Structure formats: C-alpha cells, structure tokens
Amino acid sequence: MMGRRETGQGQFFYSFDLDEVVPPDHLVRQIDGLLDLSWVHKELAPYYSHTGRPSIDPVLMIRMLLVGYVFAIRSERRICAEVQVNLAYRWFCKLGIEDKIPDHSVFCRARRERESDTLRRVFEGVVAMSIAAGLVGGEAFSIDASLIKADVDRKKRIPGDQPFAWPKAEEASHAVREYLAALDAGGDEDRSGVGDGASEGGDRRKPPKEVSLTDPQATWVARPGLDPFFAYDANYLIDNKVGIILDAAGTRANRAVEIAVTQAMVDRVERRFDLRPRRLAGDTAYGAVRLLKWLVDRNITPHVPVWDKSARADGTFSRADFVFDPERNIYVCPGGAELTSTGNIDQGHIVYYRASKSDCSQCSLKPKCTTAVVRKITRDLNEDVRDRVRALANTEAFQQSRRERKKVEMRFAHMKRILRLDRLRLRGLGGARDEVLLTATAQNLRRLAKLLCRAPLPLGAACLV
C-alpha cells in the first residue's frame, strides 16, 4: 500500500530545539568553537549613544557577515535571506526560530559610520588562536598581492591629468567622499586626480592615466593581453607552515604601495604577535632595493628575486659585464678601461660611473658597448645588499622558499574561485580593506576547522580545541 504524507502544516504548538537540528560536523558548528567575540560589546560601547532606540547587536552583524564570506554569499541582501531560512546559519548567529532578521541596509550604514577596527580585531583573534594551536611556525613568511576588479563601469572615467569638478561632499557618493577626504588630508594635492597615492606610503610622481568617476581610488590597470580595468590589491602575509594568513590589507594597486604595505604588515605582526620571520619569500615585485635593505637591517633574509632592469636586449654590454672594484670604487669595462664616479648622488640613491672620452674613442669594443660618446652605468648606494640577495638565489633555502610561496598563491586562488572575490562589491579604499579582511578571516576559519576539528562528534564537542 502506497503511503501518503499529510500535507497540513497547521499544527499550533511545536517543541523545537534549534541546537538539535544542526549536524555535529557542520562547518558553522566547527567555526563557532573557534570564534571569540566576547570583547565586542565592551570594545564598541564608546561608539554608541546612551539614549535612543537600541541598535542591531554588533555581534549579530559580525556573525552574519562571517556567514556571507565563509559560504561565499556575495550580497548582504542574500545573506539576510539565507539566515532567514537556513537553520544552521540561524544557530551560528545565535538567533531563535522566531527572531527577526536585520534589514540588509543596516550593514551599509554600519560600514560607513564605523570608526573602530572591529573587523581587524576579529581577524587578529583568529590568528591568535592559530598561533596558540601551533599552526604558525613563525620562521618563514611569504608575501604577495593579487588584483581584484573594482565594482565600476570602466567607461565612466576621465584622464588623470584632466581637471574635474567633483561634486560637493554632501552630494557625492560614499566612495567619492572618501576620495575627496583623502585628497584634503594630502595637503597640496588638488582634486584633478593628481597625487591620489595611497596612505600606506606609496608616492605618485605623475598623475594616474585614468580616474574612475564612480570609485576614484581604484587604479587603472593596463597589462599586455588583457582589457584594461580598474582594480584594488589584496595583500596577504602568510606563515609558510600550513598557510595561515597572518595579515591582510586591501590597498590601491601600486608597486610602491606593495612595498610599503609589506613593511607595515611585517611590523604589525611583530607588534601584535611578537613574531618576526627569519626569511621572507616574495616575487620580483618585492625585489626593490628599498625593501631588501629594510629586511636585511632587521635580520630577515630576503628570498626574493632582485628587481634589476640593467640587462640589455640589443646585444650590447649590460652592467653585469662590468666588474666593480669596491676598494677603488670603480668599474672596469670588458676592454679594461676604468669608469669612475664624481661621488654625486642622483635621486637620493643613484651613483653614476663614466669612462673617459679618450678610452672610449680608442676602444675596439665600443660598437658592442654604446653609441654615446662615453659609456655610463649606474649603481645604487645599496648595491651591496642587492649583491648579497643575488647570491642567495642558488641556495637550497631559497628554492625551498620558492616552493613554499605557492601557498600564498593558493590562498588567492581559493579567494577568487571558491569564495568568489574576483570582483569587489564595496566601493572605495575602505570597502576594499573590509572585504579583504573579511575574506582572510573566512579563509583562516575554514583552515582552522579543517586542521583542528574532527567529525562527527557529540554535539558541543565538535572542535578539539
């Protein structure tokens, strides 16, 4: 006999325990045991008035945001809809079966009015738990940055050197107001788009090629084989042991900013967690002499390819064909002539070495050397640091760091393919920072759950720590 289920749902009373319907091996149960938000109310108390209507609980908002980023729900409206119907998400957010869900617009207002570093505190709390669990070695770090498209229409742009009458602050969007405030804080910077360098220390000596009218702080990126687009950078500093993200920052896509933010992140990790690596791995973008010297001065071995553009593609002698004599402070060319320096320093770090006119005019190798009257080469004041780093390239430790550096690339692949952060949803530099921090927090939580938790276990004991 075929059974048929009664379709009526008009039962008046229900006996329902939300904790019983969440499986013991569900990810929300695992990450809940790894998350400590007990400090939030005390931390944010100064930012709330003692009068007026009670706000939405900030802990609830943080938990709902984490649901969105852990499970790749890319819309706050969608997050609210999912928490409304998903019992596991309700359990994680500490909501009852009949509790109302905040409106999605609350998230937007909270982000714009937020003055505290709450999201960074949440991120650092997860990192501290990773360190306590022994998942951070503290000896070898890797650094990298990945471009993330900005949420703009690339057609809505102007040339960077073209003056533009930006709207008044009260009439502008949040991203434009943030941009204008950054320009005002810069002092001598005007509002034409010139000098919109990042606050982390990147200097602009020339205006950007293009400025977005929707999100002026986004950087115009033009690379061979790709259609140009506006983007921000996601910067990750990871520990090489199991790939825990120790620091994360959303910045403007700028090479000088990448160097400055690396210094800021290494210093912040040491200040917050008392961790300083013995070696730091990175790609050629981090091979500028300024960063190499900064690392060497702190006894951090740079396992980074040196940024060097002295090689020539036309077959003529490059700087590597000249021999430097440090005792005499001269270069010796392939023909045996000496190139000397006056000692003048250009741009604060470049020294020029020139051959004599008589030596160059009589040299049979001049056609392979230069078409100028005399050959001139440059040397950085810290070239000895570059030479020391070059000497590391053939060591086994350097090759090991190259292999371990793939872990940071895997974090970016996971960010874009699994968590779907290949395009930012929030605009402005502040929005980029928030999205990168929340994504890094979600990745660390998922990593911790995988490494520390086992399932199935009895309810309330799913996590081993």
Q: What count of residues does the chain have?
A: 465
Can you read off the two tokens belonging to residue 381?
């004041």
The reported pLDDT for the residue numbered 12 is 58
The reported pLDDT for the residue numbered 46 is 80
The reported pLDDT for the residue numbered 330 is 92
Q: What's the rounded Cα separation, in Å, for the pair 465 and 134?
A: 11
The reported pLDDT for the residue numbered 190 is 39
Q: What's the rounded Cα separation, in Å, for the pair 255 and 219?
A: 11
Helix or strand holding residue 160 (H, E): none
The reported pLDDT for the residue numbered 97 is 85
- CB atoms near residue 20 (< 10 Å): 9
Q: What's the rounded Cα separation, in Å, for the pair 380 and 386?
A: 9
- Longest CA–CA span in the chain (Å) reads 110
Under 8 Å between Cβ of 304 and 356: no
pLDDT means per 10 residues, the chain with 465 residues, are 64 72 91 90 80 83 94 92 94 90 80 72 95 94 96 90 84 86 63 36 64 93 89 96 96 88 96 95 92 94 90 85 91 92 85 92 90 90 90 92 94 95 92 94 95 59 48
* DSSP conformational letter for 291: H
The reported pLDDT for the residue numbered 113 is 56
The reported pLDDT for the residue numbered 64 is 93
How many Cα atoms are found within 13 Å in the side-chain-facing hemisphere of 433? 18
Under 8 Å between Cβ of 197 and 182: no
Q: What values do phi and psi take at 316, rounded to 5?
A: -80, 165
286 by Cβ neighbours in 10 Å (0-12 / 13-18 / 19+) ranks as buried
- Which pTM value belongs to this model? 0.86
- Token pair 């994360």 is found at 248
